[in-house]
Amino acid sequence: MAYRKTPAEISRLEAARERLIGCATEVVADVGWSQASVNAVADAAGIAAGSVYQHFPSKAALAVEVFRRAAGREVEVLGEVLGGAGDPVERLSRGVDVFARRALENRGLAYALLAAPAEPAVGAERLDFRRRYRALFAEVVREGVAAGQLPPQNAEITAAALTGAIGEVLVDPLAAADENATQQLLADLTAAALRCAGAPTA
């Protein structure tokens, strides 16, 4: 008869896996993908490198999980803001602002998620998540057009443009870590995004 894990063992393993993902996320935020070796993550978690492999078959698999968790949180927050209270243009404006603000508050991790050179498996995740951001933006742009707040346009194209624009605008500020310029950057980025969607400018 095959050995089966007891409920207590399973929940201990799951807790260890969660803790490992948390540690790995911090390491990635601190030193980037390339330096976030299995050894570095194991050190941060206070376990042996071999124990990491009990949970993840490779560095790439761990990196993908770190990416999915962190990017998934951002998709969730953006979705809540874009689908929340207010008219479509207000929600779009707030969505861009909240996304950028969260990125600038956690620069290391945001840079890793948005731009930092990473292994191909992470690159594939990035393409996937950008599609999810696009779907969220497309919905609010369609609502804005339907409400007559935005001019007629291809909402999918605008949504892709917004997703690409926001990511690219943040690349250098995230890498440079200049805290002073944050307010102006958020204002300029939101303005560019609203113009891109054809919202009336102030």
Q: What residue ranges bind its own copies (CB under 8 A)?
A: 33-34, 115-124, 126-127, 130-131, 134, 151, 153-154, 157-158, 160-169, 171-172, 184-185, 188-189, 191-193, 195-198, 201
User: Closest separation between CB of residue 197 and its own copies, Å?
Assistant: 7
User: Closest separation between CB of residue 139 and its own copies, Å?
Assistant: 17
Q: Do 50 and 41 meet the contact criterion of CB atoms below 8 Å apart? A: no
User: Closest separation between CB of residue 194 and its own copies, Å?
Assistant: 9
With 0-12 / 13-18 / 19 or more C-beta atoms within 10 angstroms meaning exposed / middle / buried, residue 6 is exposed
State which residue, 18 or 172, has the beta carbon closest to its own copies. Answer: 172
**Distance from chain centroid for Cα 116:** 12
Which of 94, 67, 48 has the alpha carbon at shortest distance from 186? Answer: 94
State which residue, 84 or 123, has the beta carbon closest to its own copies. Answer: 123
State which residue, 45 or 150, has the beta carbon closest to its own copies. Answer: 150
User: Closest separation between CB of residue 35 and its own copies, Å?
Assistant: 11
Task: Determine phi and psi for 7, rounding to 5 degrees.
Answer: -55, -40
State which residue, 38 or 165, has the beta carbon closest to its own copies. Answer: 165
